[in-house]
Amino acid sequence: MSRLERTFETLRRRGRPGLVTFTTAGDPDLERSAAILRALDRAGADVLEVGVPFSDPLADGPVIQRASERALRAGATLARVLDLVAAVRPDISAGIVLFSYANPIVRMGTTPFVERAASAGVDGVLVLDLPIEEADRFRDRTIEAGIDPIFLLSPTTTDARIRRAAELGRGFLYGISRLGVTGARDAIATGAEALVARIRSATDLPIALGFGISRPEHVAEVGRWADAAVVGSALIEVIARAAPDRVLDDVERYVRWLRGESGATAPSATMPATAGER
């Protein structure tokens, strides 16, 4: 049983929704990015989704785009992201999922990437723009290396493609609650529950739901239908707005607040002046 499978089995047994956090590796720099991952784990995030910065993140809204720009300026590359994961893995109990566009992996080479990811302790990989029809070989290589391949499903995904993703996927499936780019919203998309129901009808794999989640009530609402909520843009906004000497404290406070811990309060940097963006 993989680490991700054990994580979701434990969540189901405890009867609570999981929390998946997304951060861009190398934002604001590689050293502080490593410290942020450790802080997320300390605060109780169940899965850490680590984004590989990319120059053309077409599915991401302005908050994550700016995070990628900061990380690239700080020297982040796929190879350095894998080194970062290897460095923090001994300190982290949460599952680690690498989130990437296909281009950086193709440039490194699929076999070297999978070998380095497995050696670094990556538990799962989600390649955003890898079509499900072309995913078989990559999926087989990841599974052979002990890495769970994770697939993205949207409200417009056909039932046939949902079934195919369920056949190929491991660990969990990632449903996006709305069309368009990533970004925090004031409310969960109205079609989110229906999407989860469609996925449930095709598979017993856990489902994590993202895009637009930024508050404890969002996590609780999503937890009524899905196994976990994914928070990305709002967390990155906390990182971007925090004072350098406060960023780790603010990250921990934010995650504890999202999880609904007794007495936990939101950091002052929780929300941008206007609702931003995953």
Q: Which among 60, 123, 221, 237 is annotated as catalytic?
A: 60
For residue 27, the one-letter residue type is D
Alpha-carbon dihedral angle through residues 59, 232, 3, 111, given to the nearest 10 degrees: 30
Active site residue 49: yes
**What separation in angstroms does the CA of 259 have from each of 43, 95, 108, 182, 232?**
9, 17, 37, 21, 14
Phi, psi of 256 (to 5 degrees): -65, -35
| Cβ 165 vs Cβ 173: under 8 Å | yes
Q: Which among 49, 148, 237, 250 is annotated as catalytic?
A: 49
Alpha-carbon span 210 to 219, nearest angstrom: 10
Judged by DSSP in three states, 51 sits in strand
144's tokens: 């052979």
164's tokens: 């195919």
Q: How many CB atoms lie within 10 A of CB 117?
A: 27
Judged by DSSP in three states, 256 sits in helix
Active site residue 60: yes
List, by residue number, the catalytic residues. 49, 60
